[in-house]
A and B are shown apart, each in its own frame.
Chain A
């Protein structure tokens, strides 16, 4: 392909940018060596464009959370062969969000990881930084013991911090039910207008738990813009000089939101206005 002068300069600039953007050996970074385990298959890489080829309709969830890559391959040690999927979710928040959506039970602490879950005999999950790792058995069985050892080895091989995403701090700790926090990008509570929500279950005085949440700004929408959008669509009421926006959720009662400094906080599942206000105030305390 012949390029004119202008095109050659442009091409050189593009090439330089790409050389910095793409690791020299992307596959090794995406599928790290794990101490005590042998790679026993080809490693495949998928992106958001084609992840459906690997996991079919399950890919929708990962695309929702802006998956960047999935590196998958088999590891073997003794009689145990596992398929390991390393999902690079781009940010700790997205990795946390998809991990919680897929986690069937509360997770456990694990050295070198943010959180983990071992589900004998066939599966184990790991969260570390912006990576979500799924281990599924191909041959043999996972036990609490060998599963923990495997996950610790995987965690040790992965770079990055082990902290939970900083956005978790938006959710008040008072009344929060441990292990229930999550992050949903689209359609929180089944509502189109509730996007990018940190959420958790809360209990009030031993009553039925309800969901409290905090809405996050996004690249294309500020908190002010979100508030304005909700103001146009939801009912409005005033309480102690503050505006509360509310609407009914099918089958679940009322959901309401209020400004809390630079954020928007919300509470769901209230049977009436009074309960909604009480929950918002308790949530905000």
Chain B
């Protein structure tokens, strides 16, 4: 936790309002307001944050996906909620040639939609990466069966990459059934490359994202991987990017736009005074600006070979494809840096679950702090307390008599036990 975020704390309990005040002070006092150009005035690759002005957008940049040798579009299609095959066709016609899917997306519906589109776009023209969540004890035959079912839904006799989906431990990386199945499928030409994906721990006993994926990069058996990298969560992703570069492993990125789907949304109608000052200074008016600027931030890094984005309709495809090959202006990048610093001072790091394996009681630290933020900074007290109550015993009450093995678990210096006790007091009116 930054020193600025600690400023203003007069006792052991640091309130959320103090954090916000400290964050706001950083924004307002860090540099003179008049010296900062608005997004619209800044020079650079886009007219304003995240909203490049291009007619008939097409993919403009391709990158080599590590040792696969494939030249993939810098923007890939994340197919989580995909139902429409025509969206696959539209994305391909705009130049997207990388499609990330999974057996679990729509319970197979996304794979089926891709399969219906393939006859129209040509199988050999696209890189299809699919995956399955494995527990670690599946036999080779069971994994082969899962792969066959994916191929059937995709209506193809091969996939370019098959990955372990959400791989939380080093033990599962060594899954003998998976590797035996992949070896067989590679020999048959039905799987070209092996991959792994992970976004970080969600419960005790699971590994840190960068630890697991750096090990995967160095392992030698994985040709590409999918992981989290965005302006709010840089460090872990950069470790993985460096390891992949050193080992010629392909990199594909998820969650490039934090705060859009999985976390708190930037809500122009529900802002604190500090947030309003910040958005007015940078001309930030819509969630799309922030979302697209977030994607651009990742696109700027050539070691991120393709950034997978959910593309749920034709308009969205056009707008996201329009970001291909663009860079943030200096002012826009500065804005994202400041926003990251401010947001990361509010409650842990936004969306970070790096400490999830450290608590013997399974207290969901990041979630508790998010509820605390809802209470103090958004005034959503009933919502926050209701969410907190639903945690039942897996809440800050577990910290009262605990020896705090979580001490030091946060790589960013967040004092976990202290903050859990404070949040518990707040959210239970204790």
Contact = CB atoms under 8 A, between A and B. Distances in A.
Contact of B390 (A22, A123, A189, A249): A22
Residue of A15, A54, A60 with most partner-chain B CB within 10 A:
A60
A241 interface: no
Interface residues of B, number: 52
Interface stretch (A43-51, A106-114, A163-171, A223-231): A43-51
A60 B80 contact: yes
B6 to A, nearest CB: 21
Contacts of B386: 18, 21-22
A61 B81 contact: yes
B250 to A, nearest CB: 18
A57 B120 CA distance: 26
A274 interface: no
A2 to B, nearest CB: 11
Contacts of B313: 186-187, 190-192
Contact of A56 (B109, B133, B390): B133
A162 B425 CA distance: 42
Contact of A134 (B107, B310, B381): B107
B105 A187 contact: no
B83 A56 contact: no
Interface in A237-264: 249-252
Contacts of B315: 192
A50 B86 contact: no
B89 to A, nearest CB: 6
B81 A47 contact: no
A14 B385 contact: yes
Nearest to B107: A102
Nearest to B312: A187
Interface in A155-202: 184, 186-187, 189-192
B187 interface: no
Given A14-B382, A251-B86, A251-B89, A60 B81 contact: yes
Interface in B391-430: 392, 425-426, 429-430
B370 interface: yes
Contact of B86 (A53, A186, A250): A250
Interface string A59-90: 11101100001000000000000000000000
Contact of B90 (A59, A103, A186, A251): A251
Contacts of B106: 58, 61, 101-102
B76 to A, nearest CB: 12
A52 interface: yes
A191 B315 CA distance: 7
A104 B110 CA distance: 11
Contacts of A56: 102, 104, 133, 165-166, 197, 199
A195 B133 CA distance: 31
A50 B316 contact: no
Contact of A55 (B86, B104, B370, B385): B104
A85 to B, nearest CB: 11
Interface centre among B262, B353, B381 (most CB of A within 10 A): B262
Interface in B285-316: 310, 312-316
Interface in B83-101: 83-84, 86-87, 89-90
Nearest to A123: B107
A47 B262 contact: no
B109 A57 contact: no
B116 to A, nearest CB: 11
A11 B387 contact: no
B105 A49 contact: no
B389 A22 contact: yes
In the A-B complex, the 10 residue pairs with the closest CB atoms: A53-B202, A102-B107, A187-B313, A60-B80, A57-B80, A58-B104, A61-B81, A190-B84, A60-B81, A192-B315
Given A22-B389, A26-B392, A52-B262, 11 more contacts: A3-B429, A44-B203, A47-B387, A49-B387, A50-B262, A57-B254, A60-B81, A63-B262, A69-B390, A104-B109, A138-B135
6 contacts: A52-B199, A58-B106, A58-B107, A101-B109, A190-B314, A251-B89
